[in-house]
Structure 1
């Protein structure tokens, strides 16, 4: 049995157990509602227990569906729909009971009446406080979804909490879903608005198949985490950005049951290559200690990098590499010219590793061809080096060995001509 199959089996077992608890609470609620002598407090408590139990069933069901393929997903959706119908039926019956049923003063003692009245007053105060708090708090921001699998999981969770859970009509949920989806995400579900019924469920299923496949989310998150430049020494912001991306991967993939892909050695090595050299050495020491107990994990690397990010951002970490005078003022930085002592030779004509004066091809040329090369390459006629003219050449010891002229090189000495007729434009 593979790890995924074992996870699916455990999730189904957990969901079945939570479903049994919900069924018991629902049955107790229905029995209580059938009793004409039932009090409001008992009904409210059983309704709350049933709702909590159903919430746990839904939570496990979502984790299970994230690990299934399309065919198995359809069967599981039919299962949860039956579970929802059972819960909603009991909840609606309880609401009708609370609306119509009042406290029977003839059958309740005065102490119970006072206790019930006090409880009702406290409930009203709490409801009023919650309403006032909701009005005072800023409106929750719901991010839009453009079809990027990396953001699918967070968008769906955000939508369910802030929108879907507060609406009882699927048509209204679908309209809000269309409003929050942009680009290709909206294009793939626009036709669902034309359906008379079931459009919301179909739209959610289409989005899950097109953008919410586990392997798509996994690839997108890992690519987003690793697609960055190597962090330089003292770059605390770069470390924190990497930590944020790693935590996003860890939370999302752990909920989906794909955390082992992050624990692979290849992933950890790629993350290590993004760190500064000193930090890579420090992680190698840390990993060596972890290898004595087991394999280093993704969570271990998160803790390690987060610790280094904290250190780099405190007052001592920020001062690393800065030199200060005795009075605490930072010394001014002086620009210096970095001169390379070793320079690779390159011929100006053939670009091989030798000087122009040693170039066989250049030596075999005629006088006119050499002058043309010097002119085209903008070389000094005196030293045959680029960057200045013969009039500005500082090579005082450079002179023609044939006529002792200080205005041209040996290789540019004209054959069978007097020195005064030599071209010296460069």
Structure 2
């Protein structure tokens, strides 16, 4: 089969995947909460993930063989499909989580026996009231206090029942004043807890510090990006509960969050901000959540598979970085003499057949998602040994005297010419 036929096949497969993703996105967007159970929603999520994987594979092959003038069209299609996929995944994850919570709540309501204590209906099983445990960590105090006051303190339960709930929720080993030795009734214990932990100044300092000291996300992975989103939400939500005007912090908060992002995500966000207006933090967090759902959940997953599939060279190179994926010798593939002896088209075919990233020459991701740098010769997203411009310059008539080593690294060409 010639190259034209192969290219047409990849175009058709990519177009088919795009149609499937658009169809599922429309169904999720228009259907919303249409009564589907959690198993149907999970099947829908699995289906769109499969179609997106097909799209990425065929898209990467087409991009690897595309001319520079065709890249604008490919990049535009990628951005459109990535946004549709991210929105659909976010909605499906949300619906699955809601369905699971509702199902558990309904099951719990059917199975919880009740009785009457001092004129009120009381749950004798302490488990159904989902109060987050408190171990003395100030970061957890607001969430604990809000839940405990709503579910227990402001209720008509007897004092003895409230004290039992409080001792069940608070860790006595880290918060001694709630310990087993009698320390007064419920009101006295609750007042003592609030005097120690309900310190607005101290709480504000802790949550502001937590926001300012966000951990830098070094990997382009779903887990790393969602960790940033969750930390920002938790810190600002706590400050908002204390009536601190965090909604006016966009000019300060956005640069802080962006500085903690991995390089490719940071670049994509900066390219998205095309106006001179101050970007909103909510827009940044929504962008990060959509991008997180379009990435693999664990960046190390591709490093586990090679030990189970030794027959695939592209997987072996991920686990054994010193072994060349092309010839099997002990050197980096970028320094492989056999690969360097090929012309530029043969090199592309070799990298494509090994299913390696065109940029870093490693397996497990596409050049679009690659966090490594770009070509040292032209600045585009491919490895320097795959640069058509560099190859043309080396093979020009002025360098025909060095033709035996014309495909090797630039330093070797210069040395041979001088000799």
| TM-score, length-scaled by structure 2 | 0.38
TM-score normalised by structure 1 residue count? 0.38
Give the structure with higher Rg (CA): 1
